[in-house]
Amino acid sequence: MANYNAEVVQHEAGHHIHFNLGVFPRNTAELPTWAVEGLATMFEVVEGEAGASYGAINHNRLSQFRRIYGENGERIPDMRIVILNNGWWNGFPAYSMGWALNHYLSRCAKHAEAYKKWMQLLAARDDGERIEFTELQRQFEQLFGDIDDTWRQEFIDYMKTIQLKQSEVNWEP
């Protein structure tokens, strides 16, 4: 329970830092929820053998991701809906997807530079600025490629390469 509490505090502190440093504009209603919440999950990792915070694999979220979406990604939904529609964000199961997307885009060599540009694009938005789905899709696909079956499979293949260290899983919901 102590690790869980520390992870929650680090997650919420991550939000506080992201908004106060201007990583995201303060009005998040129009930001992709997977990006905002997923980035905060990158900071949840309590110091341990695997490291801490942003530099470490979040084995709790990786374990959840595999249980929810399948060892081989067989239950991963249409990624266009996940990435473009905040209405998809359905609480607990979505946090592991948000972590997985942020981890994939920031750590995969193919997308790492584009991820930096994506984060700069989000940070440059005005508070409350509305972005239509079509514009969000255009921006995302311009940086990361078409969100199609090939993109989905590359995401799944990448996620399968991450070694889950069960010894680093501190809690199971």
pLDDT in tens, 34-80: 888 888 888 887 776 666 677 789 998 999 999 999 999 999 999 99
Residues 132-137: contacts with CB under 8 Å, at least 24 apart = 133/84, 133/85, 136/32, 136/84, 137/80, 137/83, 137/84
DSSP string, 103-118: HHHHHSTTTHHHHHHH
**2 contacts 58 by C-beta, under 8 angstroms:** no
* 107-161 confidence digits (pLDDT tens): 999 999 999 999 899 888 877 778 888 899 999 999 999 999 999 999 999 999 9
Instruction: Determine the 3-state secondary structure of 32 from DSSP.
Output: coil
Q: How far apart are CA 1 and CA 6, in angstroms?
A: 9
Phi and psi, residue 51, nearest 5°: 115, -155
In the chain, where the domains are located: 2-24+31-168
Q: What is the pLDDT of residue 41?
A: 85
Express as a percent the part of the chain with pLDDT over 90: 45
pTM of the prediction? 0.86
Residues 104-119: pLDDT tens digits? 999 999 999 999 999 8
